[in-house]
Structure 1
Amino acid sequence: MSKRWQIAGYALLALVIIVSVLAWRFLSAAGYFTAINQEIPADCRVIAAVPGPEDIVIDHARGIAYVSAYDRRAVQGGAPGSEAIRGGIYAIDLNAPESEWALYPVTPTAPADFRPHGIDLHVGADGARRLFAVSHPAAGHEVVEIFDIADDGTLSHAASVTDPLFVSLNDVAAAGPDSFYTTNDHASKNGLHQLFSNLLLLRNTNVVYHDGAAARVAADRFGLANGIAISADGAQVYVADLMSMSLHVFDRDPATGDLRGVDMARLGTGIDNIDVQPDGSLLIGAHPKLIDFLGHAGDPAALSPSQVVRVEPGANGGGKAGTIYLNLGTEISGISVAAGYGDLMLLGQVFEPEVLVCTQSKELKAW
């Protein structure tokens, strides 16, 4: 064998090894090797919804749940007329008997090009309320829409905020009546760039802070920055990194909005949206097998296991976490959020037209 063929053989072997290692890293991060030994059930019932009730935020004082929804599968599939599909914000009156809970629309006519994703609620010291919503308009630019909330819970459009740093927005956390944090889940809108970033597990996504006048990067080096939330006292910010299966905790300077990383917990599952409950605990919707979730995105019949993780932060850092709900996908597939309300929780999902109302266990279990 000539030296040239030997070099070619070594190069091919090195390429095979590199590709194998990269494939193993991605499949491990995506939960391909994850074994689910048993389900962790809850007593649940279904509320009929529109397709894609992806995020839920609850106004505990008024007893209203706001739901963000649009038909992602139809948009992603490029069906005829999909460019005209509009999403909306819906509400559930939690003051009504639980058996009567149902979604009703509260979205104003503006903006006309509205496809909401993550949402959050801000309640001012004077009781004034605003709803913040990430939107992916058909026009292609990324927007955070801000709505004023009337006493009856209906919305009126207040502002549309855009910035060059808004690249591929996912979720938003309101920090004031005009200020907010938002996550970029990818560093580019280009599909091929996104694919390779995911496959290579690049840590190139970030959190952007907008102070009402200008935006800046507040934290970076996430695998896929997803859900974001602020503690009730405004002192901490929580960020879900879906591809790294990690929850990041930051101390927040309320005067400047600056973030300083203080803790990180690897939860071993693909965590999505974060709900901060009145007692300070966190509920997180999660995808234990991201490979199955990708299959479910293309095929409604392909089931994707759904999990709810409860995190109880410690007073001086640390804390504890465990699973309070785990289903193989028959009850809810592709969960995205769990929002707590007393002893109950509302579960939303990325694609299917249902919201689940389930009992919320306080018992933290391994899975």
Structure 2
Amino acid sequence: MGKLGFFALIVAALAALLGERIVNLRKRTLASRELVKNHLPNCVALKNLEYGSEDITIIGDGLALISTGLKYPGLPSSDVPGKIFSLDLQDSRMKPVELRMSRNFDLDSFNPHGISVYTDPSDDTVYLFVVSHPQHKSQVEVFRFVEDDHSLVHLKIIKHELLYSLNDIVAVGVDTFYATNDHYFSHELFKGLVEPLLAQPWSNVVYYSPKEVKVVSEGYYMANGINISPDKRHIYVADLFDHNMHVLERKEDNTLSSVKSVALGSLCDNIEVDPETGDLWLGCHPNGWKAFMYDLNDPPGSEVIQIQKIHSEQPVVTQVYADDGHVIMGSSVAATYGGKLLIGTVFHKALGLKFSILPSFSDDPGKMYILDLLHPKPTPVELQIKGELDLSSFNPHGISVYTDETDDSVYLFVVNHPEQKGSQVEIFRFVEQDTLVHLKTITHPLLHSVNDILAVGVESFYATNDHYFHTDALHVLTVLLGLPLCEVVYYSPGEVRVAADGIMSSNGINISPDKRYIYVSDIIGHEIGVFERQEGEQLVYVKSVAVGSLCDNIEVDHKTGDLWLGCHPNSMKLSNFDPKDPPGSEIIKIKNIHSEQPVVSQEYVDNGRVIMASTVAAPFEKKLLIGSAFHKALCCDLK
């Protein structure tokens, strides 16, 4: 057998293995399950909880504490820092109130996940334990709750090598607790992709005290919610991917021994225990595949399950509430008090029923600026936007300008990613030096993951899709397997089609000065593809030029035809953003790209201390503008 045949066999075997693993993952996530609605009366959405309500716990007097703002890999999230709210369930207004935090606490990096309350019987002091993930790491924050002042006083941070992938926590003392690790690996790539595909029982439960930290239970596919029985004798652990509730007995040395497991038929997240009846209330994901593949047109549903008599030979498992995602998406917790049921979610709102990838350092909507490079002191000026565009959700990405030769009208095409709406293209007309008039919004199924755009007419353009799948995890999988699934799409009012494909991750796009060639940056393939435009807007591949970096947007010097590229010299530093070791910037120029020997030169490089994550470089009259994904912009003099 030749080398080619052997390679083909290897690829076929890997494809078969991958296919089997994906089928298995779909089974574990209940991907084929269709939910039948089972609503309760008098449901109201709670105010102030727009960024999720991942965990809820209730103090004895009817005061609920709610964590919000969780940023969890693979799931939708907000850039707003996490917060803790309180909700008085005895108040008919049902209005959550944000708790103030002490000044010594780093609010900007607060990323709360599971929470638990412990009341010290010696003085009735209430302690709140919060799992937090600053920079996607794991630690436990301990606060003292001051109810009269609506505040939390930060006491300490707890870190330990065994607390590496925390999900939920149950406090059993002033400084002791049990916690679940929902993954075996701590790196986001392995957590989000490798583990789900392998589907091995590698997660565990850890006991922590100042004197002793140890694994006390293991063998879970994804240990998630954890709580304790009213008599403190048993610990309950939800295995999300195994669809079971595990009952564990506490021993004198704080180890746990397995008693039984109860089948749930759903992917259950957090656990709340009714202190009077001992019933377990679970926030569940009825179809986990929809949660991971998040599509607003087919949203992930919500399910609340109650377990009665869990210690009997025949526990009673009941579906109390179910919704297909059009009322509430991604339920993660359910808590009861005084005839009321609260349902919290990972990333959606909360109901009261009688109920990434890159950092972003601003919650402000996107804006457009203009900069006069002929001015001796160039100063960006914000453009005023008029028309029916929803400015509050404006999230601009790639841009392109087209000048109509018939009347010199200037049109600006902007790739926009409004929250939970995927990709769309906004078309503006530039008027009066400082104003954009919004003309129309363009959406289409083929424009599903748009990165950059190249306008070639008043209403026609080429656009790059940088993903084939909608979720980051599956996109990473295609990158690991080296699958060139991305494409370039041509759009006009009369025709929309794929114009070029077979690209690892199509990013920046631009056109030659004579309009004959299209340039496409394959950011993962580290190359610039050259395509010839032919009649009927067909693109024919000509060649590729290796650039040795992850190059983003492309600008073309209209006098020389040189290509200028904003690049990322180290993608791992970009995806694992650490301000102490920031991602660098690199500017590359390509001269004579259509010759047999194009000249590729590095024009600027920085380790991230001056400018991080460069995405674009534009030359003009001996000046060079350098833009970035989330940092500042530079204006430099060219040599």
> Normalised by the shorter chain, which TM-score bucket?
0.7 to 0.9
Cα separation, partners in 2 of 1:142 and 1:11, compared to 1, 3 Å: closer
CA contact (8 A) 2:83 2:112 kept: yes
Unaligned ranges ≥5, structure 2: 356-639
**Is 1:341 matched with 2:334?**
no
Q: How big is the alpha-carbon RMSD for the aligned residues of Structure 1 and Structure 2?
A: 2.6
Q: Give the letter aligned to residue 71 of structure 2.
A: R
Match of 1:357 among 342, 345, 352: 352
**Is 1:191 matched with 2:191?**
no
Alignment correspondent of 1:55? 55
Q: CA deviation at 1:282?
A: 0.5
**Is 1:261 matched with 2:258?**
yes
Q: CA deviation at 1:7?
A: 8.3
**Is 1:123 matched with 2:119?**
yes
Identity within the alignment, %: 29
**Is 1:146 matched with 2:145?**
no
**Is 1:89 matched with 2:84?**
yes
The alignment's TM-score, normalised by the length of structure 1, stands at: 0.86
CA contact (8 A) 2:74 2:292 kept: no
Q: CA deviation at 1:335?
A: 0.8
Question: What does the per-residue CA deviation read over 1:257-313, in whole Å, with 9 as the maximum and x for residues that have no partner?
Answer: 1100111122121110000012100100000111101123xx555511100010113
**Is 1:332 matched with 2:328?**
yes
Match of 1:111 among 105, 110, 127: 105
Cα separation, partners in 2 of 1:162 and 1:107, compared to 1, 3 Å: farther
CA contact (8 A) 1:142 1:169 kept: yes
CA contact (8 A) 2:179 2:205 kept: yes
CA contact (8 A) 2:205 2:223 kept: yes
CA distance in 1, matches of 2:221, 2:271: 17
CA distance in 2, matches of 1:233, 1:193: 38
CA distance in 1, matches of 2:323, 2:125: 38
CA contact (8 A) 2:181 2:206 kept: yes
Q: CA deviation at 1:230?
A: 0.8
**Is 1:158 matched with 2:151?**
no
Q: CA deviation at 1:75?
A: 11
Q: Runs in 1 of length 4+ with deviation above 6 angstroms?
A: 2-13, 73-79
Alignment correspondent of 2:240? 242
Q: CA deviation at 1:86?
A: 2.3
CA contact (8 A) 2:70 2:112 kept: no
CA distance in 2, matches of 1:24, 1:141: 30
Match of 1:203 among 201, 204, 210: 201
> Bigger CA drift: 190-199 or 7-16?
7-16
CA distance in 2, matches of 1:11, 1:86: 46
Question: What does the per-residue CA deviation read over 1:102-158, in whole Å, with 9 as the maximum and x for residues that have no partner?
Answer: 1111141342132111101112223221111001113x5311111112242532112
Q: CA deviation at 1:77?
A: 7.6
CA distance in 1, matches of 2:214, 2:249: 17
The alignment's TM-score, normalised by the length of structure 2, stands at: 0.51
What's the secondary structure of 2:201's corresponding residue? coil
CA distance in 2, matches of 1:78, 1:339: 23
Question: What does the per-residue CA deviation read over 1:59-78, in whole Å, with 9 as the maximum and x for residues that have no partner?
Answer: 12x22110001152799789
CA contact (8 A) 2:71 2:77 kept: no
CA contact (8 A) 2:300 2:329 kept: yes
Q: CA deviation at 1:315?
A: 4.1
What's the secondary structure of 2:174's corresponding residue? coil
**Is 1:35 matched with 2:31?**
no
CA distance in 1, matches of 2:159, 2:229: 25
Q: Give the letter aligned to residue 47 of structure 2.
A: A
Match of 1:102 among 95, 100, 104: 95
CA contact (8 A) 1:263 1:317 kept: no
Q: Give the letter aligned to residue 293 of structure 2.
A: G
Q: Give the letter aligned to residue 173 of structure 2.
A: G
Q: Give the letter aligned to residue 53 of structure 1.
A: S
Alignment correspondent of 2:291? 293
Q: Give the letter aligned to residue 307 of structure 2.
A: V
Alignment correspondent of 1:26? 25
CA contact (8 A) 1:248 1:263 kept: yes
Greater relative contact order structure (CA < 8 Å, 6+ sep): 1
What's the secondary structure of 1:243's corresponding residue? coil
What's the secondary structure of 1:53's corresponding residue? coil
What's the secondary structure of 1:48's corresponding residue? coil
Cα separation, partners in 2 of 1:66 and 1:78, compared to 1, 3 Å: closer
1:301-312 aligned at under 5 Å gives the runs 302-312=298-308
Cα separation, partners in 2 of 1:131 and 1:301, compared to 1, 3 Å: farther
Cα separation, partners in 2 of 1:15 and 1:151, compared to 1, 3 Å: closer
Alignment correspondent of 1:136? 133
What's the secondary structure of 2:161's corresponding residue? coil
Question: Which of the two has higher C-alpha Rg?
Answer: 2
CA contact (8 A) 2:52 2:350 kept: no
Q: CA deviation at 1:14?
A: 5.7
Alignment correspondent of 1:364? none
CA contact (8 A) 2:69 2:77 kept: no
Q: Give the letter aligned to residue 302 of structure 2.
A: S
Alignment correspondent of 2:419? none
CA distance in 2, matches of 1:77, 1:307: 19
CA contact (8 A) 1:306 1:328 kept: yes
Q: Give the letter aligned to residue 55 of structure 1.
A: D
Q: CA deviation at 1:191?
A: 2.5
Cα separation, partners in 2 of 1:135 and 1:71, compared to 1, 3 Å: closer
Question: What does the per-residue CA deviation read over 1:207-239, in whole Å, with 9 as the maximum and x for residues that have no partner?
Answer: 111023332111111111111001111100111
CA contact (8 A) 1:263 1:318 kept: no
